[in-house]
Structure 1
Amino acid sequence: MSHLLSKFQTVDYIIVVVYLVLLLVIGYRASFGKKNKNENLFLAGKSLNWYKIGFNMWGTNVGPSMLLAFASIGYSTGIVAGNFEWYAFVFLMLLALVFAPRYLASNVTTMPEFMGKKYGEKTRNILAWYAMVKMLISWLSLGLFAGGFLVRQILGIPMWQSVIVLVLFAGLFTMAGGLKAIARVNVFQMILLIGVSLILCVIGLNKVGGWNNLFAQTPSSYWHLLKPASDPNYPWYAIFLGYPVSAIAFFCTDQAMVQSVLGARNLKQGQLGVNFIGWLKILSVPLFILPGVICSILYPHLNSADEAYMTMVTNLFPAGLNGLVLVVLIAVLVGTIGSSLNALSTVFTTDIYVKKINPNATTEQIIKVGRRTVLAGCVFAILVALAIDSIKGLKLFDIFQAVLGFIAPPLTVVFLLAVFWKKTTKKAVDFTLSWGSFISLGIGIIYLWVLPARKYHFWPHYLLLSFCIFILLITIALAISIWDKQPITSTEDANVHIAKPNNIVKWMWGLLSVVMILLYILFR
């Protein structure tokens, strides 16, 4: 596969340079053009409306991993990966209608702070460290690895050089502007991404001769979301049982995703913003998976399915549009890595530095520590991304889902119990976050590195394994809460008024639910 850069003309270079300068200007103005710098850096001064929340959450979610991995699965399997986008509406609705009202009513900045109010400072401290580990691995390192993989395909340079270049630029932008800058840029970036992806799909469809030829030249199994139980890659029961474990942790408890909601102008804007990303996720199948399906017809003999996206871009886009493609790739990289760096900085400064190290810190000190945290996160992410690059035998998409599946169970257990079962005790929460995390991550390390599933075939599907870990941990947590001799349960909910969604919010979520059910009936 030839490198994209080899097809660049003068106009392409101009487009890229102008865009990079624009990003830095936006970051600078967001940081220094307003007062309340601390609020701008972390929660955007609680000024975000619904479309900024939706685009920012989608921009955080639509990283290079999605562009590469979804096209890869489309190339080899069809639209089955659409489950990870369309099934998500259930858990986005859970965030909007159940979790978000509690988060905003508690007036918190981070997820550890929320749990700390319910179960005490020890719980907050444990969760803060675990949340940072989760962000460093599942967001920063995986996102950086996928970005490095992408840049390696574009420029033909080694992985270590790719990830260093990417993380330095994203880190610089995050330190300059914080959440407000990221939210502003993501609105424009996501519109640009939709436009470029749509152009790629249209060109690809024309190349294969239209929809009829596309359906005729691909296996009928490519167009089904639900695979039979005998399917070795994505059996329906593994997705049905295992994906919710990751999805609840990802959408409802992850600081990088939830932070946009915490920065909402009010609850209604937050709930409508989460609803908006539900609608945007419908586009993932035609925009990100369909190019991979088309590529399987046009270029059926690739060395790796992971090359599908860049193969389409490199071979189909005419001269002059290549610079725009590179701009979009930079956009999704900055959106994902920048949002996760900002979330990491927020958790460390709020839950560790201010709470434990320097309670009397000034605004200037907090911002300085936050920016140093970004730098530290960049270094760690580079090292882990290179370690992930050493994993062989799994597709990019499976690596991402497997890693998240082993990080998620403890978080999913404690947040579900905290919200839905008032008798959950502090001892149960602390055990799940500490020893439960050790169990879950330990199994993940064994699965991916020590006794890898590609060599040892006794392992169940990674999604089913994640579900089994979840069942184990929630059973232990329930038992501890029931048998705890000195229960210390939460009193926070009794002191906080939980607002109910208004009619517009209810109607929008009802409409989205109907549309998603119809889509599943159509592509079942």
Structure 2
Amino acid sequence: MKNLPLFDLGIILIYLVGMVLVGVYFSRRNTSADEFTRAAGRIPGWAIGISIYATFLSSNTFLGVPGKAYGGNWNAFVFSLSMPLAAWLATKYFVPFYRSTGEVSAYTNLEKRFGTWARTYAVVCFLLTQLARIGSIFFGISLTLQALTGFGLVTIMVVTGICIVIYTVMGGIEAVIWTEVVQGVLKTLGAIIIIFLVVREIPGGVSEIVSVATKNDKLSLGTFELDFVSSSFWVVLLYGFFINLNNFGMDQNYVQRYHTATSPQEANKSVWLCVWIYVPVSLLFFIIGTCLFVYYQQHPELIEGLKLQAAAERLGMPETNAQVVALAQQMTTEDYGDKVMPHFMVNMIPTGLLGLIVSAILSAAMSTISSGMNASATVFTEDIYKRYINQQSTERKSLKVLYTATVLVGVLGMCCGIAMIGVKSLLDIWWTLSGIFAGGMLGLFLLGIISKKATNRAAIMGVTVGVLVILWMSLSYLLPADLAYLKYPLHANMIIVIGTLTICLVGMLVTKLNGNKNK
């Protein structure tokens, strides 16, 4: 099946037009930069909470998590289990702090604490993180739509990107939040429908799924041994805690939402609402991946086609090519896991429901991309343009810069998505990139909070050593075989953990040594 039925196309078209109309509706209020970036602080906490949940539940979750569970087990679900602790710290320390400063940018305070360089460093890290995330989401959504329509990955990214840019530019943060409320409901409904359809197709139902999954170790959360080389329970838990702490405490996507709330209490409620919705819903996607594994084990004739499709995309050659066929024969379940969900949708979801599911996946992508574009534009305007280019910028000029920056981030995000074509695992590439870029931000921020005596010099030393360590951990795999002893030995998800701790601990050590010298 390479073309969607007209009825399904109609549903998708109605959804896309509806999202654009939301942007048109809220565009009437965007008469100032304050309206564009924080909606004048009039959004209720429950709407912000669902909005944050929708941002978390991106197409990386919708497609990457089932693919991960299909090819492996439930190890990645430990990421979700780390969220409550990160949320507790965020609501206790970070949310009250940001609300008290009144600064819409999460990084303005770093300049007050350590100097201009600290703010600039955090902004660069954030923008790189957002480009990596937006790119991975563009790539993820294009995988599904390519399977459904036959259009090229690049064409799909450009078309969906234009739609997202339109309503994000026109509606600002208020349009982003209210569209994400709709998208959060839609994507949750989509997950429930998919589970029902998969279970319905498996003879024996739930009992058969549990039996086959248990036999193949599909429900495991990973080894509980203190193993930091493989993706153990503890590696994912630590990674999840640091990433989620970064999300709730440092990421402009979330910090900006705190300022749209009517009160600090409503802002705190939004964080907890996100957690209590996301944790069980993310589990649904692992269940989907496990159910799909059982389904395809019962239909092995379908697996060869999936392997050929994955091999052809990786090599950029037709499925009939001899090299493609040879590569397909060597592929394991992990190599083609991201293809499973789109394949099942194409062949097994009935007309009408298919349009709804595709709309849900589109919403998963659009919600995260739009919020990332808005947050990135806000950071660029507040921390780069108004700080270095035009400190006396008028409201009208700032609003124009916000519009331009939003479009620019969307275009660059699409370019990153195009560059990711052919990656092995959508979820893996996002986790790796986010760990590299986020570690530096979080370490510096924690140093400023934990060590009240930390000086500018201590922060510079901490960041310098931390960045060098992060670069070594990220790039040492490129070293030749005779220098293998210099390669980073631990799992890639430990990069953010070690990078964050290095910056924080080195900064505290330098502060301590300086204190001893001054005695």
TM-score of the pair, normalised by structure 1: 0.84
Which residue, out of 121, 129, 143, partners 1:126?
A: 121
1:159 aligns with 2:153: yes
Aligned residues: 476
CA distance in 2, matches of 1:80, 1:107: 39
2:213 match: secondary structure: coil
Partner of 1:405: 435
- Distance in 2, Cα, partners of 1:438 & 1:379: 30
Amino acid at match of 1:172: I
Q: 2:513 — aligned with what?
A: 483
Q: Is 1:16 matched with 2:12?
A: yes
Are the aligned partners of 2:41 and 2:260 in contact in 1 as well (CA < 8 Å)?
A: yes
Instruction: Identify which of 406, 413, 428 aligns with 2:458.
Output: 428
Could you say which residue in structure 2 is the equivalent of 1:418? 448
Residues 465 and 503, structure 2, Cα contact 8 Å, conserved in 1:
no
Unaligned runs of 5+ in 2: 298-302, 308-335
Q: Equivalents in 1 of 2:263, 2:69: separation in Å?
A: 39
Letter in 2 for 1:160: V
Q: Sort the Cα spacing of 1:183 and 1:466 in 2 relative to 1 into closer, same or farther, 3 A.
A: closer
When residues 30 and 421 of structure 1 are mapped into structure 2, their CA distance, relative to the original with a 3 A threshold, is same
In 1, Cα distance between the equivalents of 2:463 and 2:159? 35
Q: C-alpha separation between the residues in 2 aligned to 1:115 and 1:36?
A: 29
The alpha carbon displacement at 1:379 in A equals 2.7
Q: Note if contact 1:256-1:343 (Cα within 8 Å) is conserved in structure 2.
A: yes
Q: How do 1:35-114 and structure 2 match up within 5 A? A: 36-114=31-109
Alignment of 1:294-373 (within 5 A): 294-300=291-297, 301=303, 302-303=306-307, 304-373=336-405
1:224 equivalenced with 2:220 (yes/no): yes
Against the structure 1 CA distance between its residues 430 and 56, is the aligned structure 2 distance closer, same or farther, given a 3 Å change threshold?
Answer: farther
Whether the 8 Å CA contact 1:54–1:274 is kept in 2: the answer is yes
Once the two structures are superposed, what CA deviation does each residue of 1:149-175 show, in whole Å capped at 9, x if it has no partner?
333333233332232222222122211
Q: Which moved more, 1:187-196 or 1:468-477?
A: 468-477
Q: Is the Cα contact below 8 Å between 1:194 and 1:287 reproduced in 2?
A: no
Match of 1:253 among 232, 235, 250: 250
Q: Classify 1:52/1:433 alpha carbon distance in 2 versus 1 (closer, same or farther; 3 Å).
A: farther
Cα deviation code 1:199-250 (max 9, x no counterpart) = 1111222222332121112135322324243797521232233333333223
Given the alignment of the two structures, is residue 30 of structure 1 paired with residue 26 of structure 2, yes or no? Answer: yes
Tell me how far 1:181 sits from its aligned partner. Answer: 0.1
Alignment partner of 1:460 out of 472, 485, 490 = 490
Q: Indicate the RMSD between aligned Cα atoms, in angstroms.
A: 2.6
Q: Which residue of 1 aligns with 2:324?
A: none
Q: Secondary structure at the match of 2:107?
A: helix
Query: Is the 1:60–1:257 contact (alpha carbons within 8 Å) kept by the matching residues of 2?
Result: no
User: Partner of 2:317 in structure 1?
Assistant: none
- TM-aligned CA deviation for residue 405 of structure 1: 1.5
Q: Percent identity?
A: 20
User: 2:262 — aligned with what?
Assistant: 265
Q: Partners in 2 of 1:275 and 1:377 — Cα distance?
A: 29
Asked whether the equivalents of residues 103 and 114 of structure 1 are also in contact (C-alpha less than 8 Å), the reply is: no
The residue type paired with residue 426 of structure 1 is: N
SS at match of 1:222: coil
Contact 2:440 2:466 (8 Å CA) reproduced: yes
CA distance in 2, matches of 1:384, 1:24: 24
Shift of 1:380: 2.0
**Aligned counterpart, 1:520:** none
Answer whether contact 2:19 2:179 (CA < 8 A) is retained: yes
Separation (CA, whole Å) in 2 of partners of 1:201 and 1:114 = 45
| Alignment partners' CA distance in 2, 1:424 and 1:12 | 58
